[in-house]
Amino acid sequence: MTKTIELYWSHMSAYCYLVLDRALALSKRDDIVLNLRPVLPGVIRNTARFDKASQVEIDYFDMDVRRIAESLDLPFREPVPSPVVFKPGTWEAATKQPHVYYLYYLTLSAIRHNKGLAFLDKVARLLWDGSTDNWHQGDHLRNAADNAGLEFPVINTEALSRQAEFDLQLKHNELALLEAGHWGVPTFVYRGEPFFGQDRFDLLLWRLGL
């Protein structure tokens, strides 16, 4: 019996990157369908929440993601540059966002061509594994698309021409995540039950009977 899971994902989330390999391994099972549902970063969806983050919270997050990466033997570094541009001295997203929307539009185009997870595999590592500075420049995204089996000129054209459609899709995904019972990422939803966070992945496997 095939089991369908929705995966709500943000390119800005370190915790999403930390669950990447486990999610991809799950998606390769013959009895699993894993639908990628990108949502915009929380700093854009809920700016006020992140702008009020305390230094204690920020420091704990930084320690936690690094130790999880170490425990998984997963190369890790914050993206350079951040996909989201912030107002100076704050955690508030700037009005102009030259990188993050384009990155999401490429991802949604990849999903249209049934290569969403393959593209995610390449792009998440491009952003987070520490091997690439200025991921948004040169041929980095083109190479990620090529390595995922996509034609970059095609998804680039769609990213530029389908922005209104993709904005609606991102909003729909955000509302679907809330309707499923959560607001954060990564969240896996199976039969209407949300499993939030990379640390709930084993609980998801238990629910799946795996």
Residue ranges of the domains in the chain? 3-208
Share above pLDDT 70 across residues of the chain, in percent, rounded to a whole number: 97
Q: What is the mean pLDDT of residues 21-33?
A: 98
Hey, what amino acid is at 17? Y
Whole-angstrom Cα distance, residue 206 to residue 166?
34
Q: pLDDT value at position 40?
A: 97
Q: What is the mean pLDDT of residues 133-144?
A: 98
**Residue position matching structure tokens 């896996």:** 188
Record the pTM: 0.95
Q: pLDDT value at position 50?
A: 66
Q: pLDDT value at position 58?
A: 86
CATH homologous superfamily of 3-208 equals Glutaredoxin (3.40.30.10)
Count the Cβ atoms, other than its own, within 10 Å of residue 56. Answer: 8
In which band, very low, low, confident or very high, does the pLDDT at 49 lie, cut at 50, 70 and 90? low
Q: What is the mean pLDDT of residues 10-29?
A: 98
Q: What is the mean pLDDT of residues 47-74?
A: 87
Q: What is the mean pLDDT of the chain?
A: 95
Q: What is the mean pLDDT of residues 82-102?
A: 91
11-25, 77-91, 98-112 — which is least confidently predicted? 77-91
Q: pLDDT value at position 92?
A: 84
111 touches 104 (CB < 8 A)? no
**Whether the predicted pLDDT of 52 surpasses 90:** no
Q: What is the mean pLDDT of residues 65-81?
A: 97
**pLDDT tens readout for residues 146-201:** 999 999 999 999 999 999 999 999 999 999 999 999 999 999 999 999 999 999 99
Crossing angle for the helix pair 163-180 and 100-112, nearest 10 degrees? 90
Instruction: Provide the pairing of β-strand 193-196 with 32-38.
Output: unpaired
Structure tokens at 122: 């390449």
**Whether the predicted pLDDT of 135 surpasses 80:** yes
Q: pLDDT value at position 103?
A: 98
Q: pLDDT value at position 51?
A: 64
Q: Which one, of 204, 205, 203, 199, lies nearest residue 67 by Cα?
A: 199
Partnered with residue 188 across adjacent β-strands are 7, 195
